[in-house]
């Protein structure tokens, strides 16, 4: 069966520090991969999605970036965090367009 791993569960970072969040999927090949962010009390905002290695679509211009160095690995990065980057970051995968989306357990990021 397919599983998605996302870590860490919580992270506290100072303003201006770098960020790297990693997500890996097991049990499937060539998944569509997604990064969402959920600010406190808000809905899910799509940040990036990828339909294949090296293929990244950015939805929101900001100081975040994403990379997909391997088929089942998706990385969210920032060179310098802002206070507004605080939120609940969720990685998700699905087998293809129109298929069901499954989420990782999320990372609660607090930028102080």
Partner 1 sequence: QKEVEQNSGPLSVPEGAIASLNCTYSDRVSQSFFWYRQYSGKSPELIMSIYSNGDKEDGRFTAQLNKASQYVSLLIRDSQPSDSATYLCAVQPSNTGKLIFGQGTTLQVKP
Residues found near partner 1 in the complex (CB under 8 A): 32, 34, 36, 42-44, 46, 49, 51, 57, 59, 90, 94, 97-106, 108
Nearer to partner 1, 3 or 57 (CB): 57
Nearer to partner 1, 14 or 97 (CB): 97
Q: What are the structure tokens assigned to 109, written together?
A: 């990021």
Query: At its nearest, how many Å lie between partner 1 and the CB of residue 47?
Result: 10
15, 82 in Cβ contact below 8 A?
Answer: yes
63: left (phi over 0), alpha (psi -120 to 50) or beta: alpha
Nearer to partner 1, 47 or 75 (CB): 47
56, 50 in Cβ contact below 8 A?
Answer: yes
Query: At its nearest, how many Å lie between partner 1 and the CB of residue 73?
Result: 18
Query: At its nearest, how many Å lie between partner 1 and the CB of residue 36?
Result: 8
- State the first-to-last Cα distance of the chain, in angstroms, to the nearest integer: 38
């Amino acid at each position: 069966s397919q599983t998605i791993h996302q870590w860490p569960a919580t992270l506290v970072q100072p303003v201006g520090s770098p960020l790297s969040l990693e997500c890996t999927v097991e049990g499937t090949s060539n998944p569509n991969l997604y990064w969402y962010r959920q600010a406190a009390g808000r809905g899910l905002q799509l940040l990036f999605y990828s339909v294949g290695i090296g293929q990244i679509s950015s939805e929101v211009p900001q100081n975040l970036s994403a990379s997909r160095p391997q088929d089942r690995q998706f990385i969210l990065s920032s060179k310098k965090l802002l206070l507004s980057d605080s939120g609940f970051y969720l990685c998700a995968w699905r087998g293809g367009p129109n298929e069901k989306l499954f989420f990782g357990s999320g990372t609660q990021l607090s930028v102080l």
